[in-house]
Amino acid sequence: MSSGTESTQGISVGERVRKVLRFLWLEYSALFALILLMVIASILNPRFLTFRNLSNITRQVSVIGIVAIGMTVVIISGGIDLSVGSVLALSAVAGMSALNATGSIVVSLLTTLAVAILLGLINGTLITRGKLAPFIATLGMMAAARSLATFFVRGGNVVGEIEAYTALSRGIFLGFRYPVYVFLMTAIVIGVLMNRTRFGRYVYATGSNEKATMLSAVNTSRVKLTVYGLCSGLVAVAAIMESATLNSISSANSGHMYELDAIAAVIIGGARLEGGRGYIAGTVIGVLLLGVLNNVLNLMDVSPFLQGFVKGLIIIVAVLVQRKSA
């Protein structure tokens, strides 16, 4: 009798352990991977753990990190935005052109925000009213926005003529540049928005089951429209940080492949492409993981042309792991 009880208890304990391990893997696998990668990197190269190198990593990932946070909201809603890189280029071109024409930093910032949000709302309208798949709508916007950016400046660059504009991103506080703090504040604000507000609950519900959400008297079209507008608004913030850092913007190269980096960070952070699940904190970890990985490859003198291959491989592996653990 006692042996049967012990066996039952043993099975119960084993099942509990498996559930705990599965939970830890699902929720914190990206964090474990980041810690492991940092340990390996510090062993391979002593320069990795220097403050200068770590601050460089955070600075380098801050712009794509802001974009990735916006992408997280879109993916949670069940959509995707392939136009973020092109929207960044076009809005930054418009903003810096306005800066040079008026000499006003405020006008430049408002122009960048207005152009990006307008493009995001067009994406949302094509998806909600036009009934286009998000992939198709944003793919079209990706081509159109990049074409307009290169057309307006004939494929060249826009160089800022107001030196004070660079202070928006080149300033340093406690050893870190301003874009790092903008990235962190963006993560906190959007994290609160998604987890503590009705809008956030609607976004998760729309991504999980849009039809059921509509039957619950939620205007899912409005939710989606807001989501794409918000994503492009964050792209505008990233555009301001990037253009202020460089004091110029390239119509052809700025924002190139940012959609791949953003999607990779979101998926690594635990979001599902099917929608309904995602974490801002997970995306932050995903962004840092990619930044550390790029830094390690650079320190080891690995060809930069292989970094895209590594990112693509990571996306595939992350999706396969998610499906096997679902």
For 21-51, how does the pLDDT look when each residue is reduced to its tens digit (9 = 90+)? 665 566 677 788 888 888 888 888 888 888 8
User: Distance between CA 156 and CA 149 in Å, rounded?
Assistant: 9
Mean pLDDT by 10 residues, the chain (326 residues): 47 68 66 85 85 90 96 96 96 96 95 97 96 95 96 89 89 90 96 95 95 92 97 97 92 90 90 89 92 84 76 74 59
User: Distance between CA 286 and CA 309 in Å, rounded?
Assistant: 17
Q: What was the pLDDT predicted at 92? A: 96
The secondary element (H helix, E strand) that includes residue 101 is helix 84-102
Q: What was the pLDDT predicted at 273? A: 86
User: Distance between CA 285 and CA 287 in Å, rounded?
Assistant: 5
CB 178 within 8 A of CB 171: yes
User: Distance between CA 236 and CA 243 in Å, rounded?
Assistant: 10
Q: What was the pLDDT predicted at 296? A: 83
User: Distance between CA 120 and CA 323 in Å, rounded?
Assistant: 30
Q: Name the region of 202 (left: φ>0; alpha: ψ -120 to 50; beta: rest).
A: alpha
CA 202 to centroid of chain Cα atoms? 20
pTM comes to 0.89
CA 92 to centroid of chain Cα atoms? 18
Structural domains in the chain, sorted by start: 53-325 (1.10.3470)
CB 127 within 8 A of CB 137: yes
- Give the residue among 223, 272, 307, 286 at the shortest CA–CA distance from 69: 286
Look up residue 120 and give its two tokens. Answer: 């995001």
List, in sequence order, every residue forming a beta bridge with 157; answer none if it has no partner. Answer: 250
Question: To 10 degrees, the CA torsion angle through 144, 148, 154, 156?
Answer: -90
